[in-house]
Amino acid sequence: MESSIDLSLLIVAVTKLPFGASFIVLSGHPQVVRVGGPEDKRSFADKIDYIERSNWAIFTNLGAVFRDLIRGVAIHDKLNQEDLSKLVFLFSDM
């Protein structure tokens, strides 16, 4: 799981808003977790601890990730097709 967390923090740091400064916790009810960005003053260790305490689950609903979360951000922020990320990174400890 450590590699998944470390890679997630790396991607969070280099991705532009609105998808940057956050990652998605995979579970039956996936959720966007904010970690990073200029307003986040937590240390690297504190961010890792926060991520480890997120609501992880064995069951992963990838449909909800795309249908509800990514699509929801795109609609909320009124993104054009060209503004959407071309890649989705999925890190797993399995």
Residue 38: count of CB within 10 angstroms of its CB: 6
DSSP class of residue 40 equals -
Rounded to the nearest integer, the mean pLDDT of the chain is: 82
The pLDDT score that the predictor gives to residue 86 is 77
Enumerate the β-bridge partners of residue 33: 23
Q: Where are the domains of the chain?
A: 2-83
The pLDDT score that the predictor gives to residue 94 is 67
Distance CA 22, CA 57 (A): 18
Distance CA 30, CA 65 (A): 6
Q: Mean per-residue pLDDT for 39-50? A: 87
Tens of pLDDT along 55-88? Answer: 777 778 888 888 888 888 888 889 888 877 777 8
The single residue listed with the structure tokens 């992963």 is: 60
What residue type is assigned to position 58 of the chain?
Answer: I
